[in-house]
Amino acid sequence: MKFSVSLVAHGDREMTLEEIVELADAVAPLNGIASGMGTTSYGAQIMVESDNSADAVLEGRKLFEAAVAKTNLPKWEVTDADTMSEDEDFVDLDLIPE
């Protein structure tokens, strides 16, 4: 099953546009988007194939940390992680019955 995994790393300084664009480039191969410009955090939402939410977070975290390692971003600890399965997303859109 596919999961959308959202991860955020909080730190001690504001992120610049250039840094978030660099992160966006690093997560693009993961069907990802980046966020954090002007905040003291950076994050990404990426797609992960997994059997369950817990495993999706673990895999997503590995992929996110590998993407961050390809950038010049500070290596901050991941402080938030959330998932949404493709099935949950469709329920939210009323495309499948609950």
Determine the CATH number of domain 2-92: 3.30.70
Q: Are 36 and 30 in contact (CB under 8 A)?
A: no
In Å, the largest CA–CA distance within the chain is 45
Which tokens sit at 24? 């966006």
Q: What is the pLDDT of residues 40-93, one digit of tens each?
A: 999 999 999 999 999 999 999 999 999 999 999 999 999 999 999 987 755 455
Listed by start position, the domains of the chain span 2-92
Where do the DSSP E strands lie in the chain? 2-10, 33-35, 41-49, 78-85
What integer pLDDT is reported at residue 93 of this predicted model? Answer: 52
pLDDT tens per residue across span 2-15: 999 999 999 999 99
Helix axes 53-69, 17-27, angle to 10 degrees: 120
Mean of pLDDT values over 14-33: 98
**Averaged pLDDT, 25-33:** 97
